[in-house]
Amino acid sequence: MDSTPAANPVRFTSGDEATNSKQIIQNLEQEAFKDWPNDAGFDGLTEHRGPIEPNIKGDIPIWAAGSLYRTGPGICKVEDTPRGTVYISHWFDGLAHTHRFEIVPIGDGTPNPDSSGPKVRVFYSSRRQSDHVMEDIKRHGTYRSMSFAQKADPCVGMFGKFMSMFRRPSNLANICVTVSPDFVGKKALSASSSSLESAKPVPPVAANGLADLGHRASAKNVFLATDAAVFSEIDPATLEPIGVVSQKKLHPDLKGPVSAAHGKRDPDTGDFFNFNMEFGRNATYRIFQIVAATGEVKILATISSSHVKPAYIHSFFLTPSYVMLCVPSVHYKYGGATIPFEGNLMDASVFDATQPCRWLVVDRKGGKGLVAEFKTAGAFFFHSTNSFEENGDVICEFVQFKSGDILKAFYYDVMLNRNNATEEFWKEGSRKTDAHPRLVRYRFPTKGVSGGKGGVASHDELIEPILEIPAPHAGELPTFNPEFSLRRHRYVYSVSSRGLSTLFDCIIKTDTETREVLMWQGPAGHTPGEAIYCPRPRSGALEDEMEDDGVLLSVVLDGSNRASYLLCLDARTMKELGRAECEFAVGFGFHGRLAKAVL
């Protein structure tokens, strides 16, 4: 593995935005991605139940100790089936694989300035979460479960496709998008197949004489989620699957099949929020809350209207007073009626730029339900970053795309450039300009909205963005300092692409006030994953200057050597502090969470 730390981060200003955006297009036209190997992050991935101890270079702070859980796709093809090798079509359908990097202080966790070498040890383990899906594929020679974008077998005719609607199994859940340690819904899921006491103990790591390893992370439970209305519980230590539970177990009204992979948590109360969507002539959205203190589940609003279409919604927004649901312009055709026939969500949806994004504002404090609606220009998004209230208005920030074409960029053919699929993808239409992210903020005038008997405040005019920063100065999988959740923040961290890779090629720190960015870039072929923010422990009141006082943890693939490492960056300077190097590739995941150890 190339263990040479990356060069110093590169600083850019707003004056560089246009030039750097044009450079993306030039790199794509020159097919620079052909010189950026990242196939090891998609193909040939194996479990490592471990724990395995990677080699540490540099320094990872003791106060970053804990368990970094990450989840995402693993296996992208299944061999030895009755029909030969079955290829999974889309990255979002890769078979679930969860990872754990446990960062453990050496000794009692007290820093010793006179000691040299690492102050922590790191232990890695991983486990597949969808062996039942893999076995079904091996048995039948096809991907039978409902999927995001699995392409139909070309040998299956119209009649076979029609009959598959009635033969499609309902128990082949593939849950691999987000991970939630200490999920508050555990209280509400009393019918779950396990209890906290049944969780297996942490595997021993002191057999080599290091009996002084203490301050282990102590997540009481870990749940995985996806864009379906189900949760999957796994063992916090071994990552072993425990059971899958439907949202209907939380509340009988949560009977729709669709939800957001990214639920939201109130940082003060711990309450959990999400929505459940039921298909029909008019889609029904139910916004719900799980009260952390009691486990009670409340339906905050039930919304069903002909102008609020069923849509693919991956995340939403939370403020101290409201839940904000943005319904983007990727809608399911015929109210979702074609999904069973198509067998996947992609082929049953369509992007219509003439349809505005509709914003639904739901009161979360006074029981008033839906209190306001707004519209913004037609667009698509995966991820919200943060939202907050200011002078009676609500400000929502997210990563936006001009079209839904980005969904097609994540077919494995495109990301692995099979049969020149990458070149063909970027040649089509306006994708070279539209299929790149922008960090966008909107300000919504919510002052004085009442709802309830006062009715819903509806605004016909399109709300215009107050901030718009293009790629590569902004990227995807955005994170920020979680201590600034639901309050004004300044910095956003994301993984971005300069057109050098079929996925990502750098980590970006974006200053939303000055529009300056700091870019971490590894050597060619080093592909970073989502950068998880870990704030430095502090006492006393939180001050604005503390916002970037922490570290970032990102799993990076060294594609040339087909091996990954856990990268630790100073969140203020974006300089590398240390890394934990594995001798194998860790699959490109989606999202993760750090369960902090108590020092």
Residue 591 counted as an annotated binding residue: yes
Residue (of 589, 78, 93, 157) closest to 345 by Cα position: 93
Burial 225-234 (b: 16+ CB within 10 A, else e): bbbbbbbbbb
Output the CA–CA distances (angstroms, integers) from residue 15 to 48, 348, 466, 516, in the order listed: 46, 41, 18, 9
CA 94 from centre of chain:
15
State which amino acid sits at residue 273: F
Residue 435 structure tokens = 């299929």
CA distance 440 to 433: 16
Residue at token pair 């015929």:
334
For 158, phi and psi rounded to 5 degrees? -60, -40
For 457-504, give the DSSP string.
EEEEEEPPEEEEEETTSS-EEEE--GGGTTS---EEEEEE--SSSSS-
Residue 459 counted as an annotated binding residue: no
CA 597 from centre of chain:
23
Long-range contact pairs involving 261-264 (C-beta distance under 8 Å, separation at least 24): 261/177, 261/178, 261/225, 261/226, 261/227, 261/314, 261/315, 261/591, 262/178, 262/225, 262/314, 262/315, 262/316, 262/383, 262/384, 262/591, 263/178, 263/180, 263/225, 264/316, 264/317, 264/318, 264/323
Residue 262 counted as an annotated binding residue: yes
Provide CB contacts within 8 A for 409, sequence distance 6+: 415, 425, 431, 435
- If one counts every other C-beta atom within 10 angstroms of the C-beta of residue 308, the result is 18
Residue 77 structure tokens = 């093809």
Output the CA–CA distances (angstroms, integers) from residue 305 to 260, 279, 308, 487, in the order listed: 20, 12, 5, 32
H, E, C per residue of 499-554: CCCCCCCEEEEEECCCCCEEEECCCCCEEECCCEEEECCCCCCCCHHHCCCEEEEE
Q: Binding site for Fe cation: residue ranges?
A: 262, 314, 383, 591
Q: Binding site: residue ranges?
A: 262, 314, 383, 591
